[in-house]
């Protein structure tokens, strides 16, 4: 069964979702009994692992004046400084420490996200547990006591809603913001992920780098291709009436605020593109995980109960697995990606560092290689296919995805959703995965 991805709402900060939530649990009871999201035992996310190392003395964090634990924390979690993105809209739990003069910094790797605000008492973290999805923590910026991560279930108030597709997840917002950082309105056409064109992205964010450069077209026509970063709304009644030319192609942010307190002077355009892709990809992986496990649990419970895990979601396990799997597959193969309308370039080393992380096939090709001309990635398949959360998908879901990947990449599936995949791209992705994803290679041998 083929299904088109469904995208919900507008939004640019890290967020979660999920139907009606019971007072005793983060998730509805029917989900919680299967997922055990609230359980503290057995967490395998990077922050939980770091806490165990801190407890047994095999790891330490260094507190520095000004930034506190930030630099040492990023090193311990293997998060690159070049991933820094800066948001000045007051749209997070750190809103009191966020403004155009003191933007909030976000850093990320494949499975962990770190938020830091100047002079803030806490560092916010979200880390992906392979079985349960994103887990939320804070780290108190207090040098007088040993560093300790606190799991924050109250984050669910913002991180659990339909914009994260009904699972604990992430979201990025694009908002029209006044000169003090107060959000005035959401950008109506923006959808978190890689499907939105640049012209509706990054309202409320600083962006360093170049993209569409006006040529022979009029200024008005050119402005329609420019992102909304680095700009402020001046008319509260009509916040959308701003000039994106004022924020376009900015490569040096030092004239806009004091960059000295930050680990980097950049809010890299390419890092923002990768961040937005990764957040929604992780949400869809979590959906695929939850739906498969809940569908199998429902089947085991028949005929005693036919209650679905997610309200309004009923059907045989195979149908539910196929629906979630098709949504994930379409996004995995970047079918909903909004094309770039010209070359883009970041201002930091992020693109080079990200592209060197591999893995590579025998021809040196990698799913982390960037295109940055017409598309974000050179090869149309998400690098998060290598993530621990993808590998932790139930066997039934992985088997479904391997079969569908084989059909699409071999050219057997030429349906409308995948018609724009060129023969060369199909072949390249197939060859890369055959050499770098052993489970898929083993599946192909028996397919």
Write the DSSP assignment of 69-119 as a string of letters: THHHHHHHHT--GGG-EEE-SS-STTGGG-SSSSPEEEEE-SSEEEEE-TT
Whether 398 has a pLDDT exceeding 90, the answer reads: yes
Q: How many CB atoms lie within 10 A of CB 271?
A: 29
pLDDT of residue 12: 32
pTM for the whole thing?
Answer: 0.90
| pLDDT (0 to 100) of residue 6 | 33
The torsion angles phi and psi of 205, rounded to 5 degrees, stand at -120, 150
> Under a CB-based contact definition with an 8 Å cutoff, are residues 92 and 115 in contact?
yes
- Cβ count near 56 (within 10 Å): 8
Q: Give CA torsion, residues 326, 330, 331, 333, to 10 deg.
A: 130
H helix or E strand, kind and range, residue 332? helix 317-332
Confidence tier at 258 by pLDDT (50, 70, 90): very high
Kindly state the percentage of the chain with pLDDT values over 70.
Answer: 87
Tens-place pLDDT, residues 48-73: 999 999 999 999 999 999 999 999 99
Contact 238, 211 (CB under 8 A): no
pLDDT in tens, 312-328: 444 568 999 999 999 99
Residue 125 has pLDDT above 60, yes or no: yes
Residue 158 has pLDDT above 70, yes or no: no
Reading the block at residue 319, the tokens are 């149908």
Q: Decide the pairing of beta strands 122-129 and 104-108.
A: unpaired
CA pair distance 310, 405, nearest whole angstrom: 26
Residue 254, token pair as written in the block: 């030092």
In sequence order, what are the beta bridge partners of 141? Answer: none
Please state, rounded to an integer, the average pLDDT across all residues of the chain.
89
CB atoms within 10 A of CB 301: 12
Q: Rg (Cα) of the chain, in Å, rounded?
A: 22
Rounded to whole angstroms, how far apart are CA atoms 16 and 413? Answer: 34
Element (H or E) spanning 325, and its range? helix 317-332
- CA distances from residue 287 to 7, 242, 280, 320, 394 in whole angstroms, order as listed: 13, 37, 10, 11, 12
Give the end-to-end CA distance of the chain in Å, rounded to a whole number. Answer: 19
Band the pLDDT of 163: cuts 50, 70, 90.
Answer: confident
Provide the 3-class DSSP secondary structure of residue 262.
coil
Q: Where are the domains of the chain?
A: 1-447
Q: How far is CA 219 from the centre of its chain?
A: 33
Report how far residue 91's alpha carbon sits from residue 113's, in angstroms, rounded to the nearest whole number: 16
């Amino acid at each position: 069964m083929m299904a088109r991805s469904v995208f919900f709402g507008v939004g640019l900060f890290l967020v979660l979702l999920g139907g009606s939530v019971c007072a005793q649990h983060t998730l509805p009871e029917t989900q919680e009994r299967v997922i055990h999201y609230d359980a503290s035992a057995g967490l395998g996310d990077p922050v939980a692992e770091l806490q165990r190392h801190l407890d047994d003395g095999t790891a330490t964090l260094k507190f520095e004046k000004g930034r506190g634990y930030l630099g040492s924390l990023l090193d311990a979690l293997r998060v690159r400084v070049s991933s820094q993105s800066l948001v000045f809209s007051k749209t997070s739990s750190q809103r009191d420490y966020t403004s155009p003069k003191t933007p909030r910094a976000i850093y990320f790797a494949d499975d962990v996200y770190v938020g830091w605000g100047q002079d803030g008492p806490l560092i916010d973290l979200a880390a992906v547990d392979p079985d349960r999805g994103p887990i939320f923590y804070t780290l108190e910026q207090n040098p007088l006591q040993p560093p300790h991560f606190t799991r924050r279930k109250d984050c669910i108030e913002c991180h659990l809603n339909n914009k994260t597709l009904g699972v604990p997840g992430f979201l990025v917002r694009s908002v029209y913001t006044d000169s003090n950082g107060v959000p005035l309105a959401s950008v109506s056409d923006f959808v978190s992920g890689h499907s939105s064109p640049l012209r509706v992205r990054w309202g409320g964010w600083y962006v360093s780098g170049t993209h569409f450069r006006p040529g022979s077209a009029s200024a008005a026509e050119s402005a329609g291709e420019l992102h909304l970063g680095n700009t402020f709304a001046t008319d509260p009644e009509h916040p959308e009436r701003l000039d994106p030319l004022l924020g376009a192609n900015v490569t040096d942010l030092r004239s806009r605020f004091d960059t000295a307190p930050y680990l980097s002077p950049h809010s890299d355009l390419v890092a923002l593109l990768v961040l937005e892709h990764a957040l929604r990809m992780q949400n869809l992986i979590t959906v695929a995980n939850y739906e498969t496990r809940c569908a199998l649990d429902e089947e085991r419970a028949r005929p005693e109960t036919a209650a679905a895990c997610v309200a309004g979601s009923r059907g045989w396990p195979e149908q539910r697995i196929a629906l979630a799997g098709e949504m994930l597959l379409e996004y995995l193969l970047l079918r909903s990606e909004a094309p770039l309308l010209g070359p883009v370039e970041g201002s930091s080393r992020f693109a080079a560092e990200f592209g060197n992380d591999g893995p590579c096939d025998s021809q040196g090709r990698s799913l982390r290689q960037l295109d940055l001309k017409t598309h974000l990635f050179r090869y149309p398949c998400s690098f998060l296919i290598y993530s621990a959360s993808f590998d932790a998908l139930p066997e039934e879901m992985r088997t479904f995805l391997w079969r569908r990947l084989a059909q699409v990449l071999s050219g057997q599936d030429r349906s409308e959703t995948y018609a724009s995949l060129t023969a060369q791209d199909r072949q390249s992705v197939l060859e890369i995965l055959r050499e770098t994803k052993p489970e898929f290679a083993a599946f192909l041998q028996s397919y």
